[in-house]
């Protein structure tokens, strides 16, 4: 029941995903009448779906504390289906804060993980996209949180980017070792000291202007910085697109220039289209939960479902658990370095 465009677009997106993953089955939670009406346009999806009615929905304006009390909401029912094992993953385009709170409360964090993190793929100029986390689940993080985010982000990158040993960096205000907050510098010290036991390559710090350069595979930060960076990148992409649109319509010569450069502009539009990268993941929970952007179109919703399917196929929960267990005791590393990691 989430999404700015309503049930029709959500069902169109799920139908697209069904064509890509023919083995998937779907449980659709929400207003039964509206969902079944939308399914009339997608007979292939209807045959692979079960509709579970919920008269209650989580509003976009609901605070997490209010949303949690809506036990019979479509969002709550979807997450509890994952908890009970009736569903492999939950996908929602609804209220992000509510989804995070409900998922954490119902599924709990995995052993060795203090807090879950919100991770997403961002486009780059390199051969691969970049995984970035946390993007808003935790506004304040200590060094231990950042180290755990690095382990989880690398596990996700090995699946999503098909990399054996992803390159990981911490987002900072400079690349020098003395730059940044105590938490960032302490996390870097732990990662450097534990480098031989890590299932990834820790490459130090990166700055905000390097996020899209393709020089790293995973960028780790606290949720406040990550959310600001994400929204800034999205705003910049829209700014450039609007600027180009204005420039190409300013005169007859500009319009002719647009026609000549149309193939290149189409490629640019495709690369920057957020629907091609839709599907943020809550990493560190005992279950798979994927957040679709509220403004996603059918293609974007389908991509979010694809992310969930891929994580199930590759058993992301087991991978993160194995990586956390395989990394030597980070508290011991911090203790040897006399770092204040809790």
Is the backbone peptide bond immediately before 134 cis, with ω within 30 degrees of 0?
Answer: yes
CATH 3.40.718.10 residue ranges for the chain: 109-342
DSSP state of 249: T
Tell me the pLDDT tens digit for each residue of 307-319.
Answer: 999 999 988 888 8
| Strand order through the sheet with 89-92 | 89-92, 288-291, 280-283, 117-122, 130-133, 218-220, 167-171, 201-206
168 by DSSP, 3-state: which?
strand
Above pLDDT 70, what percent of the chain?
Answer: 90
Check pLDDT > 90 for residue 88.
yes
Strands 280-283, 288-291: pairing kind: antiparallel
Q: In the numeric block, which tokens belong to residue 103?
A: 């998922």
Residue 268: predicted pLDDT: 60
Confidence class of residue 266 from pLDDT cuts 50, 70 and 90? low
Which CATH entry fits the domain spanning 109-342: 3.90.79.10, 3.40.50.300, 1.10.1740.10, 3.40.718.10? 3.40.718.10
Residue 341: predicted pLDDT: 47
Return the closest-CA partner of residue 154 out of 89, 216, 205: 216
Report how far residue 5's alpha carbon sits from residue 94's, in angstroms, rounded to the nearest whole number: 11
pTM for this entry: 0.86
Residue 31: predicted pLDDT: 93
Tell me the CA end-to-end span of the chain in Å, nearest whole number: 40
- Who has greater pLDDT, 264 or 254? 254
Check pLDDT > 60 for residue 342.
no
């Amino acid at each position: 029941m989430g999404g700015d465009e309503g049930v029709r677009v959500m069902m169109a997106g799920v139908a697209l995903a069904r064509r890509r993953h023919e083995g998937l089955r779907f449980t659709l939670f929400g207003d039964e009448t509206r969902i079944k009406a939308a399914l009339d346009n997608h007979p292939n999806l209807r045959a692979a779906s079960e509709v579970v009615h919920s008269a209650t929905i989580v509003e976009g304006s609901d605070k997490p504390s209010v949303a949690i009390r809506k036990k019979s909401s479509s969002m709550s029912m979807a997450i509890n289906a994952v908890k009970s094992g009736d569903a492999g993953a939950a996908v929602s385009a609804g209220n992000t804060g509510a989804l995070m709170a409900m998922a954490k409360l119902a599924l709990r964090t995995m052993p060795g993980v203090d807090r879950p993190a919100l991770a997403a793929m961002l486009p780059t100029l390199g051969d691969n996209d970049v995984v970035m986390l946390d993007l808003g689940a935790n506004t304040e993080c200590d060094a231990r949180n950042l180290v755990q985010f690095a382990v989880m982000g690398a596990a996700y990158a090995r699946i999503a980017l098909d990399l054996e040993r992803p390159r990981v960096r911490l987002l900072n205000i400079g690349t020098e070792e003395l730059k940044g907050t105590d938490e960032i510098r302490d996390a870097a010290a732990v990662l450097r000291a534990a480098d031989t036991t890590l299932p990834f390559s820790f490459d130090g710090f990166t700055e905000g202007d390097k996020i899209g350069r393709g020089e790293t595979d995973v960028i780790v930060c606290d949720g406040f910085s990550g959310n600001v960076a994400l929204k800034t990148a999205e705003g910049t992409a829209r700014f450039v697109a609007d600027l180009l649109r204005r420039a190409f319509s300013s005169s007859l010569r500009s319009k002719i220039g647009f026609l000549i450069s149309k193939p290149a502009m189409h490629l640019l539009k495709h690369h920057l289209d957020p629907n091609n990268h839709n599907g943020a993941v809550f990493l560190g929970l005992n279950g798979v939960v994927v957040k679709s952007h509220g403004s996603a179109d059918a293609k974007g919703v389908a991509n979010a479902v694809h992310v969930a399917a891929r994580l199930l196929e590759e058993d992301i929960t087991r991978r993160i658990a194995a990586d956390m267990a395989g990394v030597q005791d980070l508290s011991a590393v911090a203790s040897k370095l006399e770092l204040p990691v809790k």
